[in-house]
Amino acid sequence: MLNSKIPPVPLAEQWHTYQETTRLISPANKRHLEIIVIGTGLAGASAAATLAEQGYQIKAFCFQDSPRRAHSIAAQGGINAAKNYQNDGDSIQRLFFDTIKGGDYRSREANVYRLATISSKIIDHCVAQGVPFAREYGGMLSNRSFGGTQVQRTFYAAGQTGQQLLLGAYQALERQIAMGNITMYPRHEMLEIVQIDGAARGIIARNLISGELERHAAHAVLLCSGGYSNVFYLSTNAMGSNVSATWKAHKQGALFANPCFTQIHPTCIPVAGEYQSKLTLMSESLRNDGRVWVPKTLGDQRPANSIPPAARDYFLERRYPAYGNLVPRDIASRAVKEICDAGYGVGNSQRAVYLDYADALQKHGREFLTNKYGNLFAMYTQITGEDPYEVPMRIYPAVHYTMGGLWVDYELMTTISGLYCLGEANFSDHGANRLGASALMQGLADGYFVIPATISNYLSKYIGSSSAITDHPAFAEAESIVADRLDRLIQIQGSQTVTSFHQRLGKIMWAHCGIVRDRHGLQAAIQELQALQAEFWQDVKIPGTVQSLNPELDNAQRVADFLELGELMCVDALQRQESCGCHFRSEFQTDQGEAQRQDAEYAHVAAWEYQQEHQWQCHPEALTFELAKFSQRSYK
Amino acid sequence: MIQLTLKIWRQSTAQAAGKFVTYPLTDLSPDMSFLEMIDHLNQRLILAGEEPVAFDHDCREGICGSCAMYINGRPHGADQGSTTCQLYLRSYKNGDTITIEPWRSNAFPVIKDLMVDRSAFDRIIQAGGYISVNTGNAVDGNSLPIAKAQSDEAFASAMCIGCGACVAACKNSSAMLFVAAKVSHLALLPQGQPERKQRAVKMVMQMDKEGFGSCSNTGSCAAVCPKEISLQTISQLNREYWHQ
């Protein structure tokens, strides 16, 4: 059933071959073709700007008040590229291998190879846009290393790389708005896809200020709406980040791939209390110079600085001597959870470990740390009231990124014709675990380089066809579905707030579909989630009206989608009877407690088709490996 | 646990008259963030059948620029170099009264309660806050060396999050610091040179057209900027403007 449309030539020639043979569209014809872009993060803004530069007419939508506020802005650490500026042996092949290995052999080779191929051009383009990457004194671009690699290939702008890259894409987008090639719809939320004759031809969007529903037509629709970490309620995502755009597409027929692959980031600020609304990430780059430890003795209550080195357990360095504190995220997260489960955790909650800069401070001095991590240290002090120059940071894992997403083929098209999915919202490049500094790379690769090359292959059939089709009955039908759903929500007038449901959802997901999963827990979670969905639709309380600005209503419809997604995540995690990357099933581990893949049965992408409430069918896409050979990950 | 009294500006629509409403809050943890306190209040209001307080917020880590509250007469509250979402209640004393208003500027009309329309900033960027380079044209990233000091200075200006605190603090509602930050960022880089002269003029013209006031150099903008953008960027903008 699934055709991933990978060019039938050797891996290293695929992208070149594709570009040479794909259908093109002349500039005169492009002017009459319209594309809708949902989301203006790295993927959406870069796609909208580049497609507009090519001559297409773009309508871009975001729920924030400005496209510049999309959550890509918060990415801290950096962006990978196989430039080999450090002359340390890097190459396209090495970036490819690291990404495949980091993803634990659950990503599609063709897409990953293309990503590694494109990576260098992204850096060049961003520099040309004026992105102020960090530089050496000689004026050359600076690199840092990140978890899961042995080369220095990460480009960065202090701890604000995502901000600087997004502002580059945002400025390119604003330039195209000024030129009349993009119409921007901020404070709008897409609530339904409109299909005509089996192809995506538009959307129903809600104007979040007036509450009105709007019909927008186009020749193709791009979903660049980011990830779904907020299904856990507490995550490092922005408060508004949601799954609704891709979930609506899923319920209309787009397959959802590997939904249970969610990345837990090891270095976040621990939860302080029940009122906590979100978690804050401390960039993984911090592990370059910080050392992770807990007291060696159970119940050692001394302040961190009073515990002598001999009484400390530097457990990552002990367990993984080759990579030490730079082991991949999933391994670090699990090690932290295990040591806290065993009772060695620190701080009031006992759910934290130390990340210590005393050695780096002694070796390199305060200025060195300030230059590299100044803003991160300041952020930590602001949130916790503690100074990391004086006392070790306390960190604990938190949900950070979702590798799963809508299934797409090599052209980034979903299983709905004319509906594309880019960036974190799709599933394609990171397998079961994403390496640090690869999200920015993928978002921008998809938007700046992949979609502009692939979309003409599809749109060429629409040359000469109008997009003035909002009178079509399919639009009226989609609009009435959305209106009915909003009316239904507001009329419930129950007794519990949207947030209280979201918190309960998050607790179920974190307990059973978090760092460690097992059959029993997942089965229980599915039951609990079905009951919670029913309770939500009977007892949620939403103030205000549909026909007005109503953030609680916006949130309610997002949480309704999260409740359903959570169930599918557990279904997927239950079905995948192996451990791989971030997905750790306690039934499947080696004697040393490492993840044990079951390649014979599960070397596939699990792409789920929505059938009816609580019912999905899995369509596996087998993964074959031409260059990469299966191996047990070992970071010892 | 601490108690605080909030006096919040409530305004149902852009046209409606607004007023302050007082909300006493008890049982607050000093480790709670300022916005978590507003969440807490809103949960209470919803359960009591009242309209929650509308406010913009998203990342809650000081980088998206969404949150915008005028707290006790200062944008983003009293902490230096901080956004509203990065404020914690440990900055307040038990029993304090806190007055919360929206940004006030003709160019930032109120939408509801504490939510304002900052789209004027996007239109200023549209006027020239970019380098005109289409995807696919770039030369190798290392082909143009840029001195570290120069690059760092450009970065310091590029850190602007577009929150509008500078406008809110200014007695003239001037957007000079916002414009200056972008003009400086791009003027300091070799890639920004071809459009350098027209950029400053076009952005300043758009700023005027949006109804922002003139700069009288009091420096209140830089004093409250959560990213501590330097007042020197305004000198840079003036130089760019006059040299064209």
pLDDT at A378: 86
Helices (H), A320-470: 329-341, 358-364, 366-384, 439-444, 451-459
List beta partners, residue A517: A585
**Rounded to 5, what percent of chain B is helix, strand, coil?**
35, 15, 50
**Cβ contact, residue pair A132, B185, below 8 Å:** yes
Residue of B nearest to A274 (CA): B32
pLDDT > 90 in chain B, percent: 98
Provide CATH code, domain B119-243: 1.10.1060.10
pLDDT higher than threshold 90 for residue B94: yes
Residue A374 shares a structural domain with residue A480: no
pLDDT at A567: 98
pLDDT at A328: 78
In this structure, is residue A204 part of a structural domain? no
Nearest to B118 among A65, A85, A240 (CB): A65
What type of residue sits at position A545?
A: T
* pLDDT tens-digit series, residues A107-118: 999 999 999 999
**Cβ contact, residue pair B62, A125, below 8 Å:** no
Provide CATH code, domain B2-101: 3.10.20.30
Residues of A in Cβ contact (< 8 Å) with B155: 132, 134, 157-158, 164
Residue A269 shares a structural domain with residue A390: yes
Contact B158, B149 (CB under 8 A): no
Nearest by Cα to A433 from A579, A608, A555, A304: A579
In this structure, is residue A550 part of a structural domain? yes
Nearest to A128 among B119, B131, B142 (CB): B131
Nearest by Cα to A515 from A310, A286, A330, A238: A330
Q: How many domains does chain A have?
A: 2
pTM: 0.96
Main-chain dihedrals φ then ψ at residue B19, nearest 5 degrees: -160, 160
Residue A592 shares a structural domain with residue A484: yes
Mark whether A488 is an active-site residue.
no
Cβ contacts of A269 within 8 Å, gap of 6 or more: A279, A280, A282, A380, A383, A384, A394, A395, A396
In this structure, is residue A546 part of a structural domain? yes
pLDDT at A273: 86
List beta partners, residue A34: A57
Candidates A215, A291, A329, A558; catalytic one = A329
Whole-Å CA distances, A500 to A505, B36, B172: 9, 14, 43
Q: Would you state the torsion angle of the CA atoms of residues A102, A105, A111, A116, taken in this order, to the nearest 10 degrees? A: 30
Token output for B126: 């549209």
Per-residue DSSP letter, B108? S
Contact A23, A429 (CB under 8 A): no
A322: exposed, middle or buried (Cβ count in 10 Å: 0-12, 13-18, 19+): exposed
CA–CA separation, B74 and A532 (whole Å): 43
Q: Which of A399, A426, A443 is the last residue of a domain?
A: A399
CATH 1.10.1060.10 location in chain B: 119-243
List beta partners, residue A217: A202
pLDDT at A631: 83
CATH 3.10.20.30 location in chain B: 2-101
In this structure, is residue A282 part of a structural domain? yes
pLDDT at A635: 67
Does the ipTM exceed 0.85? yes
Residue A289 shares a structural domain with residue A387: yes
| Location of structure tokens 């891996």 | A11
Cβ contacts of A457 within 8 Å, gap of 6 or more: A22, A23, A411
* pLDDT tens-digit series, residues B205-231: 999 999 999 999 999 999 999 999 999
Contact B166, B224 (CB under 8 A): yes
Do β-strands A312-313 and B19-28 pair in parallel, antiparallel, or remain unpaired?
Answer: unpaired
What's the domain range around A590? 473-600
In this structure, is residue A358 part of a structural domain? yes
Per-residue DSSP letter, A561? H
**Cβ contact, residue pair B130, A174, below 8 Å:** yes
In this structure, is residue A444 part of a structural domain? no
Residue A394 shares a structural domain with residue A480: no
Residues of B in Cβ contact (< 8 Å) with A135: 145-148, 151
Tell me how crowded residue B171 is: count the other CB atoms within 10 A of its CB: 9
* pLDDT tens-digit series, residues A156-208: 998 899 999 999 999 999 999 999 999 999 999 999 999 999 999 999 999 99
CA–CA separation, A49 and A72 (whole Å): 16
Per-residue DSSP letter, B91? G
Token output for A222: 């791009």
In this structure, is residue A568 part of a structural domain? yes
- CATH code for position A485: 1.20.58.100
Tell me how crowded residue A604 is: count the other CB atoms within 10 A of its CB: 18
Question: What is the pLDDT confidence band of residue B244, given thresholds at 50, 70 and 90?
Answer: low
Give residues 127 to 146 of B whose Cβ lies within 8 Å of A: 127, 129-142, 144-146
Residue of B nearest to A382 (CA): B86
Give the three-class secondary structure for A256: strand
Nearest by Cα to A372 from A78, A632, A604, A635: A78
Question: What is the pLDDT confidence band of residue A592, given thresholds at 50, 70 and 90?
Answer: confident
In this structure, is residue A159 part of a structural domain? no
Contact B189, B146 (CB under 8 A): yes
- CATH code for position A371: 3.90.700.10
Residue of A73, A83, A503, A540 to mutate for B, most B C-beta atoms under 10 A: A73
Q: Out of A424-433, A592-601, B46-55, pick the least confident.
A: A592-601
